[in-house]
Amino acid sequence: MTVPLHAVKIVDRNKAPRDFQSRFLPRELSIWPRMKHPNIARMIDVFEDISRVYMILEYAENGDVLRYIQKSGAIKDHLARIWIRQVGDAVRYLHDQDITHRDLKLENLLLDSCYNIKICDFGFVKSHSMKELSKTYCGSKSYASPEILRGEPYDPKKADMWAMGVILYIFITGKMPYDESKGNSGVLEEQRKLSFPWHKFKYVTPDVKSVILSLFRASYTERPGIHEVMSLEWMRKGLEPPAAAEPEGAPGGKQSPVSIQNDSKLDIQREFATALHRSRGK
């Protein structure tokens, strides 16, 4: 009998900041277990002792996307589309329930046995996201939108969209779009210019460049929402699945295609296998 593997996230109450324990940890423990989507890592159970909280999580055996990109470099247009589509499907599922992640980054994108994306770590999750603008400046500077870096109240859904732009840029180029070592002012200047060396990246096409730049719109009021992004031609190209039921827990009345998973697409599996073989041969 094969015993399934699980991951464990441990929060040490003696070391975690009190603000985190009082504000953020309760949200994570309340919201994450309710999330039922194929591209969100499931929280299976949670328990605690006198000093620690233990979250029992779905195990993703292929690590995180950061390590994958560090090893293999930029990924081809088709593979980038698969992964950002999976991220987008999960983000759409969250946003449709008025939930925002607020810490989307490569380290929080895990890979299962078939190299499907699994979003994890809901430490900065926020519900009721449209009641008012957020004033908590959380997440990673490299993925933060201009309004966050300026210390302004922000729309958390549009901040998630900016982070998706950073993720897609890294997928297709293998590089970070902004240099956080320059500090907030330096990153803001880079965000204003959007002067990227596109010609150096062999997998950048005009269509994917257009998607990235739309997500990098400086004004969050002009930045597209998740439904608009998911309807873009590049996002839909060659990846529309047959009609099927929505992910468990999705709000009623939403007519959105389900996430494309690699275990049901043999051609995608072959492409991933080819890419892995190529990267291991470097």
User: What phi, psi does 258 have (nearest 5°)?
Assistant: -75, 165
pTM score, whole prediction = 0.87
CATH number at residue 38: 3.30.200.20
Rg of the chain (C-alpha set): 19
The catalytically annotated residue of 64, 77, 89, 103 is 103
49 and 137, same domain (yes or no)? no
72 and 109, same domain (yes or no)? yes
- Rounded Cα distance between 34 and 54, Å, is 17
22 and 75, same domain (yes or no)? no
What is the predicted pLDDT for the residue at 160?
Answer: 97
Tens of pLDDT along the chain (282 residues) come to 777 899 999 999 999 999 999 999 999 999 999 999 999 999 999 999 999 999 999 999 999 999 999 998 999 999 999 999 999 999 999 999 999 999 999 999 999 999 999 999 999 999 975 667 898 888 889 999 999 999 999 999 999 999 999 999 999 999 999 999 999 999 999 999 999 999 999 999 999 999 999 999 999 999 999 999 999 999 998 865 544 334 444 444 444 444 567 654 444 555 555 555 555 554
- Rounded Cα distance between 60 and 23, Å, is 28
Instruction: Look at strands 43-48 and 6-12 and give their pairing.
Output: unpaired
User: What phi, psi does 48 have (nearest 5°)?
Assistant: -145, 155
Within 8 A by CB and 6+ apart from 116, the residues are 38, 39, 86, 261, 262, 263
- On whether residue 170 sits in a domain, the answer given is yes
- On whether residue 23 sits in a domain, the answer given is yes
208 and 88, same domain (yes or no)? yes
- Structural domain span for residue 261: 65-275
130 and 176, same domain (yes or no)? yes
106 and 215, same domain (yes or no)? yes
The total of structural domains in the chain comes to 2
- On whether residue 130 sits in a domain, the answer given is yes
DSSP annotation of 54 reads E
- On whether residue 282 sits in a domain, the answer given is no
90 and 218, same domain (yes or no)? yes
145 and 266, same domain (yes or no)? yes
What is the predicted pLDDT for the residue at 132?
Answer: 79
Extended beta strands in the chain, E state: 6-12, 43-48, 52-58, 99-100, 109-111, 117-119, 126-127
88 and 204, same domain (yes or no)? yes
What is the predicted pLDDT for the residue at 255?
Answer: 42
- The answer to whether 129 touches 98, Cβ cutoff 8 Å, is yes
What is the predicted pLDDT for the residue at 274?
Answer: 59
108 and 42, same domain (yes or no)? no
- On whether residue 1 sits in a domain, the answer given is no
Domain boundary among 42, 58, 74: 58
Block residue for tokens 């490569």: 106
What is the predicted pLDDT for the residue at 251?
Answer: 47
103 an active-site residue? yes
Within 8 A by CB and 6+ apart from 76, the residues are 203, 271, 275
- On whether residue 52 sits in a domain, the answer given is yes
What is the predicted pLDDT for the residue at 2?
Answer: 73
- Rounded Cα distance between 267 and 30, Å, is 38
